[in-house]
Structure 1
Amino acid sequence: MNESRIKGAFETMHTTKEMDQRILAAVASGQETQKGRPRRRSRRFYHRLALAAAIVLTLFTVFQIPQVATYAETIVKTFTNVFRVQGEEVKAEGKFLELDEDASNEMEKFDTLRQVEEKIDIKLLKYDKGYEKNLAWQYSPWTDFFEGKPCDEIFGVHVTNDYYILGDLKNVKINSYKEPSTVNSIVYEKGKNFGTPIKCQITIYTSEFYEARDGDGGMENGILDYDSIINQETATTYQCKNLDTEVILYEMVTDGPAAWEQVEGFPVTYMILSYNGITYEFCGQVTKDTMKEIAENLHY
C-alpha cells in the first residue's frame, strides 16, 4: 500500500474524537520537528498511522464499543435465572439490555428474526430450517407494568413464532394477518417425528424492568425465580455442546398456542435455555432428542 492510499484510508475511517486521540498518541514519536516546524510526514509515518489505527479499531470492536460494533448491546445489569428441576436449582445468567432507541413500544409483526434484530439492535439465536416469512414473528413489548396504566418505557420484549419449526408436518397451510393483534393460524397433519409445529418464544429484559421490579414480582436482589413450574418428574437437564450452556427439558399437557387451533390438551416437550442473557423457550409435540438436536444447531 503506497503513501497516498494509506493516508486516504485513514482519512476515510469513521472514528470518534477519543479514538483519534488514541491513534495520534500511538504514533506521536513518528512526527519529528526541524527548526520548530513539522517535517513532511514520511511513508513510515503513514504506515505507523495505519497500523495504530487498525490496532485501536480492533480493540474497540473486540470490546463492542457501539460506534464500530454491529448489534453492540448495552448491558445495564445482570441477574440470575433460577429454574427448579426436580428440587434442584439450575441457574443461568440473565442480562438487562438496552433496546435501540427506535424500538417500538407497540406490537408489530416481522417476516424474519433478522428484521427483529435490526429493529431492537440485539443479536438473537436462529435455526437454519425455521419458518421465516409471511409475518411469522410477533414482537410484543411490555409497557403497562404500573397498575395497568400504559407508559412509554419498555420493560421487556417477547419475540414469538408459533410455528417456527415445521419438521415433517404434512399439508401445512398458514394464514397470516397484518394486524398485530390478530393471531396467525396454522393447519397441518402430523408427521412421523412432529405431532405439532415447534413454537419459539424469546424473552428479553430491559433496564426499565430492573428499576421497576427489583424486590417485586418474583425478582429480588438480582434473582429471578421461576418457582416450581417445571418441578416435575419429566424435567431433566442437558449440557448443550454447541452453546456451552445447560438446557432444561420437560413435558407438560397443554392445548398449545392459539395459532395451533387445538381443542384438547396433549403432551408437548418444552426446552428452555439462556444464552448471553436472553431466554429462549421452545415447545412442541416432539421428543426430547429432537429438542436437543435443535439446540445443537442454533447460532447467530
Structure 2
Amino acid sequence: MLGEVAALSAAFFWALASLLYGRFSHHFSALQLNLVKGVIAASLMLLTLPLLPNVEFSLSPEHIGILLFSGVIGIAIGDSAYFASLKRIGVNKTLLLESIAPPLSGILAVLILGSLLTWQSWLGVLVTTFAVALVVMQPETHTQKVNAAGIGFGLLASVCQASGVVISHYALVAGDIEPLLGAVLRLLAGVGVLLLTLVLIKRQQLAQLVTGFSKMAQREFVLLLIAIVVGTFLTLWLQQIALKYANPAVAQTLIATSPLFILLFSILKGQIPSGKTLFGTVLAVGGISLFFIFR
C-alpha cells in the first residue's frame, strides 16, 4: 500500500511541477533546465540524507552501478527528452505520450525481472492508461502546433522512463536500498552525464546558463525553485519509494495519472471539463482502485 500511495503522491507533484516547468522554456534549453533542476535537487537530497534515521549506506558495487545506469537512462536522457517535448507540444500532449510507459514497464518487468502481475493489476494498468489517454486527448484551451520532433521526444521520454523504473526497481529491492539514497545516486548520475555533455558538446549552452538566470525576475526564480523542490526532490523520492514497495508497472501506472491532477487544477481555475473528460476521470479512479482491492 505504501508504494501505491507514494506513486499517487508523485503523480500529483509531477503534474504541479510540469505546469511550472512549462513557464521556463523561453529561459533555458531542455538540457540546461534538466541540469539546473538536477544540481539543486541533488544538493537538497544530500542535505536531507544525514537527517534520516537508521539509513544503511553500505551498497554493493553492482547495485550502485545499476542505479547509476538507471539515472543516465531515466534522468539524463529521459528527463531531457521530456523537457524537449514539453517545450514543443505542451503539457497535456507530452503527458499523453507518457501514458504508454506503464504497459511498457509491465512488459519489461516480466521480461527482465520475471515479475508477474495479477489479472486485476493488468486490468488496472489497461483501464488507467486508457482513461488517462482519454482525458489528455481533449482539446486544449490554447492551440499549440504539434510537430514530429515533439512527438519523438515524448516517445523517447516514455521509453526511458519505463526502462529506468524497471532497472531502479531491481536495485532498490535486491539491495534493500533506502529510496532517498537511490534517488540521490540516480540524480547524480544524470547530472554528471548532462554536465559532461554540455562541457564537451554544448559548451555554448553552458555559458548561456548565466544569461538565462539574469533574465529571470525574482518571482520566476522562486517559482523555478518551487518546481524543482516539488517536481524533482519530492517526486523522485516518492517515485523511488513507489518502486521499492510496489510492482514497477503498478507504480508507473499510478504515476501516469498526472494528467488527472492537471484536470483538477483546471477545474479549480474555473475551467469546466467536458462530459468525456469527466467520464475519463471516473474511469481512471476505477482503474486505480483495482490496485487496492482483491489484495
- As a proportion of its length, which structure holds more strand? 1
For Structure 1 versus Structure 2, the TM-score category normalised by the shorter chain is under 0.3
TM-score by length of 1: 0.24
* Larger relative contact order, structure 1 or 2 (CA cutoff 8 Å, min sep 6): 2
Taking structure 2 as the reference length, the TM-score comes to: 0.24
